[in-house]
Amino acid sequence: MQRVHEAASRGFDREAEAYERGRPEYPPQAIAWLAERLELRPGRVVLDVGAGTGKLSRALEPSGAEVIAAEPVAGMRRILTQQSPSLRVLDATAEALPLAPASIDAVVAGQAFHWFDGPVALREFDRVLRPAGRLALIWNRRDSDQPLQRAIEAIFAPYRRDTPSHRGHWRQAFEGDAPFEAEDELAVPFVQELDREQLLARVVSTSFVAALGESERRAVEQRVRALAPREPLELRYVSEVSLFRRKAR
């Protein structure tokens, strides 16, 4: 099995509960667009890769499609199965899926593709997808125009180092002889309303913060609490969805 990045393995395993409490859900408009473009309905099968605690998997269940969740981090899988006991959950990475060829109608990844070995993962998605299958990637991107989000980023910055990010080079995986090409995109602004403890959970669930030693984590927590003198709080995001189809062969 492909090795999981150390920041993801250690951080997400340690703070899976914080991830579930603090991370925003996906906006209904983005989910409806995904369900329509991927033709999710009863009789169809969608694979959520890097499913985390299941936020995207749960959002897709009302479509009626069978949802399979693949998540390699044990702590995240534990929360996922608690929250969604009816889902089929795989202990698997994007690069090594225990699924038969041409067995899946659509593949999705939420907040996750930047963690993958992009070219290897795309070849694996190509293997498990049926001929007309599509791939969709979605991120809830923090709105850097909001002062509160900028203040959070200032706290993050010293610890980010070389941790993979959706702001990085993930699109390079689709260049050259990649089996997929871009088909469409959607951007949906939305607001997450949360209290002080949820804000703290949002920050400490970030992989490279969650992986810090105790003294550094406490320092981060103190700075985050100082950002929230009043409740409720609002965090602004843009949900960015990218849809890909197979290249003609």
Does the residue 25 lie in any domain? yes
pLDDT grade for 2, boundaries at 50, 70 and 90? low
Residue 1's pLDDT is 44
Look up the domain containing 103 and give its range.
6-142+172-190+239-246
Average pLDDT over residues 40-67: 98
What are 197-221's pLDDT values in tens digits?
A: 999 999 999 988 988 898 999 999 9
CATH number of 94's domain: 3.40.50.150
Does the residue 73 lie in any domain? yes
Does the residue 202 lie in any domain? no
Taking CA atoms, 2 is separated from 11, 18, 118, 165, in Å, by 18, 25, 12, 19
The runs of H, that is alpha helices, within the chain are 6-14, 16-22, 28-37, 55-60, 74-83, 118-128, 147-160, 196-204, 207-210, 214-226
Query: Average pLDDT of the chain?
Result: 93
What are 134-192's pLDDT values in tens digits?
A: 999 999 999 999 999 999 999 988 998 888 888 778 999 999 999 999 999 999 999 99
Distance CA(224)–CA(46), nearest Å, equals 37
Structurally, the chain folds into a number of domains equal to: 1
